[in-house]
Each structure stands twice: as C-alpha cells, then as structure tokens.
C-alpha cells in the first residue's frame, strides 16, 4: 500500500507540472487582408498586398507566437484606376528601387516577443524581412477567437528602400516620399 501511495503521488506531481501545449491556428489567407498607405508631400497612395500564409500560436488562451509570409508580387494600387498611372506606380513599387519583387518575391514576419497588454491585446516585437533585410518592428495586435487586427508602421529606409527619401536626398521638394508606410492587417482563422 505504501508503494501505491508513492506511485500515485509521483504521478500527481508529474501531471501537475505538464505545461499547456501550444495550439497553432492557421490563418485563412483568402479571408485576410493587408492594406497599405504610402505618403508623399503632395498626397498619398494606397493599396493591398496578399498574405501567402500565416499562423498564430497560443498557449491556452494566451498568444505566444506567430509567423507570416506575404506575396510581394500581389501588390496593387487601389486609389488609381487603369490609365490614371495605376500600372506605372505598381511597376515602380515592384522595381528594384522599391521592393524588387523579381528578386524578393516574399516578405516575412516572425514574432520574437509577445507581451499581454490587456485582455486580448498584445504588444508584439517581430523580425520583419523585406528584400532579404531583417529588422525588428513593434506593434499592437488585438485578437478574438477567430480574428486578429494590427496597424503597423514600417520605416522603408531600414530595408534599403531609399527612393525619394528626404532622409537621403536633398532638393526633392514636393517629390519627397515619407520614409514610413502604414499597414492595416486583418487576419481571419
């Protein structure tokens, strides 16, 4: 009987120390969206780029990780119509002086640190890779049981995208383009 109690106690200790296993939720890329806004002195342009795939990782109900890939060749301008410069701007954004999508067809984001800020609201620090250059970005991510949203500000010059940047070129006048661009991300899973 003494051995049975010892074995039962040992099993109880082992079971109580087992951590909650991580659950990976696959993002539905076809129902998710990434909208971008790029600003210049004389206005702004906006558009979309498609998510290729992604996952969010939970431990219990807490977000603990995530990873995403973006199809940079899917980038489109939505504030211009065909014949109004839409094709020219899309081509320029995909060219080497911007995102160089022929060489760098995928951008990626890998969560490195997730801090619970409030109920279902997290501050995420992640490694963002654009044009094979990886730099950290920090943003807030709000989650529900089947969705997540974030607004992310990215300094394009950190990824060697310096075209029209007043930080690198003088005398641009009203041709200057903001170093930052904004992403509004909506994920469904």
Residue 3 lies in a domain: no
Q: Residue 111: inside a domain, yes or no?
A: yes
Neighbours of 169 (CB within 10 A): 13
Q: Which tokens is 161 given? A: 């995208």
Instruction: Note if the pTM is more than 0.75.
Output: yes
What is residue 164's predicted lDDT score, i.e. its pLDDT?
56
Does the structure show a pLDDT above 90 at 14?
no
- The domain in which residue 74 lies consists of 20-188
Spatial distance between the Cα atoms of 25 and 52, rounded to a whole number of angstroms: 15
Q: What is the domain count for the chain?
A: 1
Q: For 113-141, write each residue's pLDDT tens digit.
A: 999 999 999 999 999 999 999 999 999 99
Q: Are 136 and 127 in contact (CB under 8 A)?
A: yes
Distance from C-alpha of 94 to C-alpha of 76, rounded to nearest angstrom? 10
151-174 tens-digit pLDDT:
999 999 999 987 655 444 444 444
Residue 117 sits in a domain whose CATH number is: 2.40.128.110
Query: Which backbone phi and psi does 16 adopt, to 5 degrees?
Result: -75, -20
In eight-state DSSP terms, residue 131 is: T
Which H/E stretch holds residue 10? helix 2-17
Domain annotation covers residue 53:
yes
């Amino acid at each position: 009987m003494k051995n049975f109690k010892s074995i039962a106690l040992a099993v109880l200790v082992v079971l109580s120390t087992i951590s909650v296993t991580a659950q990976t939720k696959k993002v539905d890329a076809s129902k998710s969206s990434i909208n971008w806004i790029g600003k210049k002195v004389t206005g702004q342009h906006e558009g979309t780029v498609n998510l290729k795939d992604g996952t969010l990782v939970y431990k219990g109900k807490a977000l603990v990780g995530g990873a995403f890939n973006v199809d940079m060749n899917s980038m489109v301008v939505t504030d211009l119509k065909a014949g109004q410069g839409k094709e020219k701007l899309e081509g320029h954004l995909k060219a080497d002086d911007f995102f160089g999508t022929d060489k760098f067809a995928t951008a990626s984001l890998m969560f490195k640190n997730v801090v619970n800020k409030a109920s279902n609201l997290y501050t995420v620090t992640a490694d963002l890779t654009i044009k094979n250059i990886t730099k950290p970005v920090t943003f807030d991510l709000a989650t529900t049981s089947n969705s997540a949203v974030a607004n992310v500000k990215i300094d394009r010059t950190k990824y060697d995208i310096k075209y029209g940047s007043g930080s690198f070129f003088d005398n641009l006048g009203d041709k200057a383009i903001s170093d930052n661009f904004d992403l509004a991300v909506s994920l469904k899973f």
